[in-house]
């Protein structure tokens, strides 16, 4: 099969990814073999390719927003079923975190497209217990970004502890934020978007945001909660200053540049809180996919054929599209 492989992690300009021939993977007994039809392009793939994240599997195939069709079944799924493959791939199920429902913190967890080959390929595998059934009526391309961008945005929204009808600030407005905004708006929030891209600001307003300004601007009213989606630590104090008393900032990314020193009085006092967001649980995924179906949450997508994944990553890095990029496999080719 054809697949992308991270041969030498480093800047995209130095071509860390190669499009190669690989054998179709052989699934373990508890795993599905999945024929990939669409795979979203997540910022984490960029971090894997560029070496911001340590190498877990040399030559890994990235991609963890996979939609496909079961080509070899395992318990819980039949051949021909449409499934989603997300970032969280395995946990031990036995540690204190797993037992208390925080499997996203499992120290033994494994991730698709980092520890194991993912969806920038014609086929991939997934443990059946971590595959997601998909709501009907959602096209493959539109569904792909829900599987990481959507689920993480949803977990970040819950971590941001937004009160009912509250004022939410979103710093950065890419794949994850534009899905998170739709859930927040459907639940009655007022959403303010703070991001550098003019096209992203237009998309934010079109989706129903009350305001859209540059990332360093002060929002028009104090925020009850904020979520930092941009991987920019220098925005942490900016977002904290925008919070009302008792407000919460959730940092959604897996990678963040260094945070400058904080001023206690203006940025933390009055019980402001900073929280990180680490991966997601399968329960988050189930809750979000159900909400997305109920509220008609839709990704704004920009498609590329599989063989142009490197271009999709370059465009993501340069901020050349709104919403989310999705790689599409054409079985006729």
Site residues for Zn ion per CB under 5 A: 42, 44, 91-92, 95, 98, 106, 148
Angle (nearest 5°) at CA 214 between 211 and 217: 85
Residue-wise DSSP of 8-20? S-S-GGG--EEEE
Of 17 and 238, which has the nearer Cβ to Zn ion?
17
Q: How far is the CB of 5 from Zn ion (least distance, A)?
A: 19
Q: How far is the CB of 179 from Zn ion (least distance, A)?
A: 12
Comparison of 90 and 192: residue with beta carbon closer to Zn ion: 90
- For the bound state, the minimum distance from the C-beta of residue 134 to Zn ion, rounded and expressed in Å, comes to 17
Residue 305, strand partner residues: 328
**DSSP 8-state class, residue 322:** S
Query: 279 CB contacts (<8 Å, ≥6 apart)?
Result: 87, 88, 104, 109, 111, 152, 254
Of 147 and 209, the one with the shorter C-beta distance to Zn ion is 147
Question: Which CB atom, from 155 or from 201, has the smaller least distance to Zn ion?
Answer: 155
- Of 96 and 205, which has the nearer Cβ to Zn ion? 96
The answer to whether 299 touches 7, Cβ cutoff 8 Å, is no
Q: Measured from the CB atom, is 74 or 252 closer to Zn ion?
A: 252
Whether the CB-CB separation of 176 and 152 falls below 8 Å is answered with yes
Query: Please, which residue, 151 or 204, has the CB nearer to Zn ion?
Result: 151
Provide the minimum distance between the beta carbon of 52 and Zn ion in the complex, in angstroms, as a whole number.
Answer: 13
Least separation, in Å, of the C-beta of 13 and Zn ion? 22
Q: Give the single-character DSSP code of 324.
A: E
Exposure string (b/e) for 109-142, b if CB count within 10 Å is 16 or more?
bbbbbbebbbbbbbbbbbbbebbbebeeebebbb
Strand partners, 111: 88
3-state secondary structure of 34: strand
- Measured from the CB atom, is 158 or 241 closer to Zn ion? 158
Considering only CA atoms, which of 77, 181, 183 is closest in space to residue 132? 77
* Closest distance of CB 148 from Zn ion, Å: 3
Q: How far is the CB of 147 from Zn ion (least distance, A)?
A: 8
The full DSSP string for 192-226 is EEE-S-HHHHHHHHHHT-SEEE-TTSPPSS-EEEE
Q: How far apart are CA 254 and CA 316, in angstroms?
A: 16
Q: In whole angstroms, how close is the CB of 123 to Zn ion at the nearest point?
A: 20
Q: For residues 255 and 270, which CB has a smaller minimum distance to Zn ion in the complex?
A: 255
In the complex, minimum distance from the CB of residue 299 to Zn ion, in angstroms, rounded to a whole number: 13
Q: Is 267 helix (H, G, I), strand (E, B) or coil?
A: helix
């Amino acid at each position: 099969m054809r697949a992308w492989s991270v041969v030498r992690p480093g800047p995209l300009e130095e071509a860390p990814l190669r499009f190669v021939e690989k054998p179709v993977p052989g699934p373990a007994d508890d795993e599905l073999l999945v024929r990939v039809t669409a795979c979203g392009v997540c910022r984490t793939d960029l971090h894997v390719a560029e070496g911001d994240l340590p190498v877990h599997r040399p030559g890994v195939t990235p991609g963890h927003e996979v939609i496909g069709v079961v080509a070899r079944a395992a318990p819980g799924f039949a051949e021909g079923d449409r499934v989603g493959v997300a970032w969280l791939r395995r946990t031990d199920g036995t540690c204190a975190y797993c037992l208390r429902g925080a499997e996203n913190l499992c120290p033994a967890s494994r991730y698709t497209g980092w520890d194991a080959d993912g969806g920038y390929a014609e086929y991939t595998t997934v443990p059946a217990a971590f595959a997601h059934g998909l709501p009907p009526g959602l096209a493959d391309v539109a569904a792909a970004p829900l599987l990481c961008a959507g689920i993480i945005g949803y977990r970040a929204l819950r971590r941001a502890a937004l009160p009912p009808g509250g004022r939410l600030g979103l710093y950065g407005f890419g794949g994850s934020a534009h899905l998170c905004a739709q859930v927040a708006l459907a639940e009655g929030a007022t959403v303010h978007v703070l991001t550098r891209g003019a096209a992203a600001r237009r998309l934010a307003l079109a989706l129903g945001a009350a305001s859209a300004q540059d990332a360093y601007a002060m929002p028009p009213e104090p925020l009850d909660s904020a979520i930092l989606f941009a991987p920019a630590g220098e925005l942490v104090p900016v977002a904290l200053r925008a919070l009302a008393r008792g407000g919460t900032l959730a940092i959604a990314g897996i990678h963040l540049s260094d945070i400058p020193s904080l001023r206690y009085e203006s940025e933390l006092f009055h019980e402001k809180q900073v929280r990180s967001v680490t991966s997601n649980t399968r329960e988050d995924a189930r809750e979000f996919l159900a909400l997305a179906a109920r509220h008609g949450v839709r990704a704004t997508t920009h498609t590329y054929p599989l063989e142009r994944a490197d271009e999709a990553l370059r465009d993501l890095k340069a901020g050349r599209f709104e919403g989310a990029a999705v790689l599409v496999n054409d079985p006729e080719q």
